[in-house]
A and B are shown apart, each in its own frame.
Chain A
Amino acid sequence: MNFDFGRVALVLVLAVVPIIGIALGMRAPALRSRIPILIGIFAGLIPIFSLYIPKQFLSGPTGMSPRLDQWLIILAGFALLLGIVNVVQNNSRKISRREKGWFFAAVLLIGLLVTSAFGIWGWWTKMGIGFMPDGSPTPFKWVEDRFFQPLQSTIFSLLAFFMASAAFRAFRARNTEATILLIAAGLVMAGRVPLLEFLAAPFPPLHPSASAASQFLGGLAERIMDIPNGAAQSGIIIGAALGAASMAIRVILGIERGYLGLGQGE
C-alpha cells in the first residue's frame, strides 16, 4: 500500500471528513451545507497552489492535483448513470401510460439497451469495442459505424443549411452595427473562394483581372481575420477571463452556491 503524504491528505480531507460531516449532518441540519463548502475551498485551492508549488506531493505525477484530477474523471464517468436513470424513468413512464409518442420512447429505449449491452459485453469479454482479432468490427463498432456515425455527421451537416438561412435573414443593413456585420461577413465569404473567377468564367478577357481581384480579396479576408477580428477576440477573452476569475473566487469561497441548490449570498 502506498501512503504518500499527498495521497493520504487527499483521502483524509475528501473522504474521511465528508463521512464525519454526513454523520454530523444527520443531527445538525446547519452543517449540511457548511461542511461541503469548507471542503470545496480545500479542493478549489489545490490546483491553484499546484500551479506555483512544484513539490512532489502536490504537483508530481501522482501528487494531489493530478490524483484528484483522475478521481474526478472517474466520478464524471459514474455520473453518466444518473442521466441514464432519468432517461429510462421518463421514457418508460411514457410507454406505460401510453402517452402521445410512446412508440418513439420505445425506439429510444431499445437503442439505448442494445447499444449499451454491446458496449458492456465488449468490456466484460475483454474484446473491447473496436475490431475483433480477425479485423471484423465488433457489434458495438458496427452500431457505431452504421447508426451513430451517419446520424451524427448528418445532424452536424444541417449547419450548412442553417448558415445560409441565418445569413439571409440576419445580414440586413438595418443600422450602423448591422451594416458593419454584413460587410465584414460578405468580404470574408468572398475572400475564401475564387468567387470572382467563377463569375468571370464566361468572359475570357476578364480572367486575369478577376484572378488578381480574387487574390486581393483573399488577402483582405485574411487581414480582417487577423487584425480587427483578432483584436475583438482578445478584448472579449480578457474581459471574460476577469469575469470568470472573479466568479471562480466567489464559487471557491462559497459565496455563489446556486449549483448546490442553496440560495445566493451568505
Chain B
Amino acid sequence: MIQDALGIWIAALLTLAALSFLYKDNPFFRFAESLFAGVSLGYYVGIVLNQTLEPNLFEPMRQDFGQNWDLLVPGLLGVMLYVRYVPKIAWVSRYALSIYVTYYIGVEFTRRIHGEVLPQIGRAMLPLSRFDLPTLYSAVFVVGVFSVLIYFFFSREQNAVTRPIARLGVWFLMISFGAAFGFTVMGRVALLIGRLNFLLQAWLYPLFGITS
C-alpha cells in the first residue's frame, strides 16, 4: 500500500517536472529528463533481453540446438559490430552493417514496388464517364494524384504546361497538410486529457479526500 502511494507520488511529481519544460528549462525538468533517458535505456535492456533475445535466441538454442545452431552467426555478426572500438580493424564492422542494411533494403524495394506503386496507381484509375457527384469526387482525386506526381519531376525544367499543373499539385499538398494537421489535434488533446486525469484522479482527488 505504502509502495503504491509512493509510486503515485513519484509518477505525479515526474509528470509535473516534465510539464514544467513548457514554461522553461529548469533543474526539475533536467532531473526528470536525465532520469528518463537513463531509465528508458535500462528499460530497453530489460525488454531486449527478455522479449527479443530470450525468445529468438536463448530459448531456441536451449530447446533444440540441432535445429537452431545457425543462430550462432548473428552472435558472430554482433561481435563484428563491436570490433569498431578497435580502430585498427574497425573496417570489420562493415560486414555486419552491410548485411543488415542490404537485407532490409531488399525488403523495402519489394515493399515499395509491390505494395505501394502498383496498388496506389491502380487506385487512381477511376471511371469518369458520368455527370454526378461521385464522379466529380473521382475527378478531383485523379487530378490530385497526377498533379502531385508532376510536381515531383526533377530532371526537367518546368514549362508552360507543367508549371501550372505542378502548382496545382502544391495546392493539393497544402490541403492535405492542413487537413491532416487539423485531424490530428483531437488525438493529441486526448493524450493531455489522459495526463490530467491521472493527476486529478490518482493523486489530487484522493489527496484532498474528494470521492464523489
Q: Which residues of A contact B53 (CB under 8 A)?
A: 74, 77-78
> What separation, in Å, do the CA atoms of A32 and B97 have in the docked complex?
13
B50 at the interface (CB under 8 A from A): yes
Q: Which residues of A contact B110 (CB under 8 A)?
A: 47-48, 51
In residues 95-120 of chain B, which contact A (Cβ within 8 Å)? 95-110, 112-114, 116-117, 120
Instruction: Name the residue of chain A whose CB is nearest to the CB of B113.
Output: A245
B48 touching A157, Cβ below 8 Å: no
- Please indicate which of the listed interface residues A71, A116, A239, A260 has the most CB atoms of chain B within 10 Å of its own CB: A71
Which secondary structure characterizes the binding site on chain A? helix
Q: Which residues of A contact B10 (CB under 8 A)?
A: 146-147, 150
B128 at the interface (CB under 8 A from A): no
> What separation, in Å, do the CA atoms of A239 and B150 have in the docked complex?
9
Given contacts A119-B47, A148-B39, contact A181 B67 (CB under 8 A): no
> What separation, in Å, do the CA atoms of A56 and B60 have in the docked complex?
21
In residues 151-166 of chain B, which contact A (Cβ within 8 Å)? 151-152
A187 touching B182, Cβ below 8 Å: yes
B127 at the interface (CB under 8 A from A): no
B179 touching A251, Cβ below 8 Å: no
A206 at the interface (CB under 8 A from B): no
Total A-B pairs, Cβ < 8 A: 422
B205 at the interface (CB under 8 A from A): no
CB-contact partner of A84 in B32, B39, B41, B76, under 8 A: B41
Q: Which residues of B contact A78 (CB under 8 A)?
A: 53, 74-75, 78, 81
CB-contact partner of B22 in A112, A158, A235, under 8 A: A158
CB-contact partner of A157 in B47, B142, B195, under 8 A: B195
A112 touching B42, Cβ below 8 Å: yes
Instruction: Name the residue of chain A whose CB is nearest to the CB of B52.
Output: A77
B201 at the interface (CB under 8 A from A): no
Chain A contributes a number of interface residues (CB within 8 A of B) equal to 137
CB-contact partner of B100 in A2, A37, A75, A226, under 8 A: A75
Instruction: Name the residue of chain A whose CB is nearest to the CB of B40.
Output: A148
A218 at the interface (CB under 8 A from B): no
Chain B: interface residue count, which band? 35 or more
Chain B 78-95: CB-based contact to A (< 8 A → 1; otherwise 0): 101110010001011011
B117 touching A235, Cβ below 8 Å: no
A209 at the interface (CB under 8 A from B): no
Given contacts A157-B195, A184-B179, contact A108 B34 (CB under 8 A): yes
A192 touching B144, Cβ below 8 Å: no
A115 touching B47, Cβ below 8 Å: no
A contact residues vs B (CB 8 Å cutoff): 1-2, 7, 10-11, 14-15, 18, 21-22, 25-26, 32-33, 35-37, 39-41, 43-48, 51, 62, 67-85, 87, 101, 104-105, 107-120, 122-123, 128-129, 140, 142-161, 163, 167, 171, 176-178, 180-189, 192-193, 221, 223-239, 241-242, 244-245, 248-249, 251-252, 259-261
B contact residues vs A (CB 8 Å cutoff): 3, 7-8, 10-12, 14-15, 18-19, 21-22, 30-50, 52-54, 56-57, 65-67, 69-71, 73-78, 80-82, 85, 89, 91-92, 94-110, 112-114, 116-117, 120-121, 123-124, 137, 140-149, 151-152, 169-186, 188-189, 191-192, 194-195, 198
Given A1-B65, A10-B73, 13 new contacts (CB under 8 A): A37-B98, A77-B57, A84-B45, A104-B34, A108-B37, A111-B35, A129-B50, A147-B11, A151-B35, A188-B183, A234-B144, A235-B148, A245-B117
Cβ contacts A to B, 22 pairs, < 8 Å: A2-B67, A33-B94, A39-B95, A39-B98, A68-B103, A74-B56, A82-B81, A111-B35, A113-B38, A120-B49, A145-B7, A147-B39, A152-B36, A157-B194, A159-B188, A182-B178, A189-B185, A221-B183, A229-B179, A235-B145, A236-B173, A238-B145
